[in-house]
């Protein structure tokens, strides 16, 4: 059962042998985290610095924004991950360290401070930033906050670990309304393993090969190369299927660290154990992706588009994302208007080779469903029921192309007056 306030999992939810559990990035053995106010958000006392730490060195992988303008922390993190190893991640919110004077020097200095505070090599520290682009980055909050965060994680006992994940999830937020954390438990070779994550993202959301900011930890033992492969494959089905506003951030980073503490036999090929790991990873990342889409800036409703009957999965993914990204679909959902023509229109202008003249479309809530289109023609439907569905906070749009066997889903949100207000005054 999902906790709507925090985005955490309170009760276990069995799904295909994978069980959702509490704890976020601290659910896997050997991981600790902290979040605190360091001073990046000068007008607020909200947490703005997070630290995620592993007791032992990790195999690690990451994917990043495809925006040609990139934050300085990405360059440093890429360099530190060339050997596929990492020990900790430092994240600040409130300043993106993008197009900022001395940004590269500051990102490197951040890693040096964290390495000294944690007693590890600076090259094993990864760094991420999120917030306003183009602002000068102050060094003082890092100098004040990192040693304090390090003391917290080094002193954390096993009974306090979960609180660290929640604090870190809050500290990486910018315009997010809720912290986002998720974790799951599964079995590899008779060993109980866990995978957990935290994420932030509310606006400037249209990930390509990465997400806003997301950090995933696992105690599974898996080769770094396979970790990278799993991350890239998974991202296409989870985070890359989110869209809030069609903008791709300059700082998008998704990091996955595995410390092997679960004790399973090391995964070194794409066999059955790899596939189990990949499935567990997808459960966590998809759950986080849904939370991000629902928490879009100004959003009141989550939109999930499920496409079936497509010639290929890649096409199904593309069509689903085009639908949730359509401003006309998003505004119709906001106004609870069952204007199915906008959905079919978005399907039709999606690039790719497929037939659009036999599509069946329905809209659904958690309790009701109504068909609005059959074979690409309108059908009679109860407008009252349709409005009840669209008045809900989670809407599913189903599109069956009847042109193949592939399927996929994408996640978005409605477009509201609130989005304009937030972004019209983002810096102020």
Cα gap 145→229, rounded to integer Å = 34
Q: How far is CA 253 from the centre of its chain?
A: 9
Cα gap 355→368, rounded to integer Å = 28
Burial of 245 per CB tally in 10 Å (0-12, 13-18, 19+): buried
Please report the beta strands in 243-341, taking only residues with DSSP state E, as ranges in sequence order: 253-258, 302-310
With CA atoms as reference, report the closest residue to 58 among 36, 91, 80: 80
With CA atoms as reference, report the closest residue to 209 among 254, 257, 172: 254
Longest distance between any two alpha carbons in the chain, whole Å: 68
Cα gap 360→78, rounded to integer Å = 45
Catalytic one of 65, 211, 253, 286: 211
With CA atoms as reference, report the closest residue to 304 among 286, 281, 277: 286
Cα gap 428→422, rounded to integer Å = 10
Contacts of 183 (CB under 8 A, 6+ apart): 9, 20, 21, 22, 23, 24, 25, 27, 28, 194, 195, 196, 197, 284
Q: Which residues pair with 242 in a beta bridge?
A: 411
Give Rg (Cα) of the chain: 21
- Token readout for 255 is 């990091």
Name the 3-class secondary structure at 267. strand
Distance set, CA 228 to CA 61, 85, 90, 284, 324 (Å): 5, 12, 20, 16, 28
211 counts as catalytic: yes
Cα gap 23→365, rounded to integer Å = 29
Catalytic residues: 211
């Amino acid at each position: 059962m999902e906790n709507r306030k925090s985005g955490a999992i309170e009760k276990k939810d069995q799904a295909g042998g994978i069980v959702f559990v509490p704890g976020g990035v601290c659910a896997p053995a050997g991981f600790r985290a902290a979040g605190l106010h360091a001073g990046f958000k000068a007008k607020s006392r909200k947490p703005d610095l997070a630290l995620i730490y592993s007791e032992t060195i990790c195999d690690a992988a990451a994917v990043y924004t495809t925006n040609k303008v990139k934050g300085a922390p990405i360059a440093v993190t890429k360099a530190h991950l060339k050997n596929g190893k990492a020990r900790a991640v430092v994240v600040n919110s409130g300043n993106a360290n993008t197009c900022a004077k001395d940004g590269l020097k500051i990102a490197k200095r951040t890693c040096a401070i964290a390495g000294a505070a944690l007693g590890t090599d600076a090259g094993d520290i990864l760094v991420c930033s999120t917030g306003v682009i183009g602002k000068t980055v102050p060094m003082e909050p890092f100098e004040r906050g990192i040693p304090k965060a390090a003391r917290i994680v080094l002193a954390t006992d096993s009974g306090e670990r979960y609180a660290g994940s929640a604090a870190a999830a809050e500290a990486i937020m910018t315009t997010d309304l809720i912290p986002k954390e998720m974790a799951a438990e599964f079995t590899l070779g008779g060993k109980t393993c866990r995978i957990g994550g935290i994420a932030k993202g509310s606006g400037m959301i249209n990930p390509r090969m990465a997400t806003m900011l997301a950090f995933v930890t696992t105690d599974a033992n898996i080769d770094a190369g396979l970790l990278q492969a799993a991350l890239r494959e998974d991202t296409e089905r989870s985070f890359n299927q989110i869209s809030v506003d069609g903008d791709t951030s300059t700082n998008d980073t998704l990091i996955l660290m595995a410390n092997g503490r679960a004790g399973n036999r090391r995964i070194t090929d794409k066999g059955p154990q790899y596939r189990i790991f990949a499935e567990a990873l997808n459960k966590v990342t998809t759950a986080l992706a849904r939370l991000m889409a629902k928490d879009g800036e100004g959003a009141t409703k989550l939109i999930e588009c499920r496409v079936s009957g497509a010639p290929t999965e890649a096409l199904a993914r593309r069509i689903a994302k085009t639908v949730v990204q359509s401003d006309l679909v998003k505004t119709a959902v906001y106004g609870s208007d069952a204007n199915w023509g906008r959905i079919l229109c978005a399907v039709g202008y999606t690039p790719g080779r497929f037939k659009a003249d036999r599509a069946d479309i329905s809209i659904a809530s958690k309790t009701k469903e109504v068909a609005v289109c059959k074979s690409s023609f309108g059908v009679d439907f109860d407008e009252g029921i349709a409005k009840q569905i669209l008045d809900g906070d989670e809407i599913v749009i189903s599109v069956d192309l009847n042109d193949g066997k592939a399927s996929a889903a994408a996640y978005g949100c409605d477009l509201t007056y609130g989005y304009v207000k937030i972004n019209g005054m983002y810096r102020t």
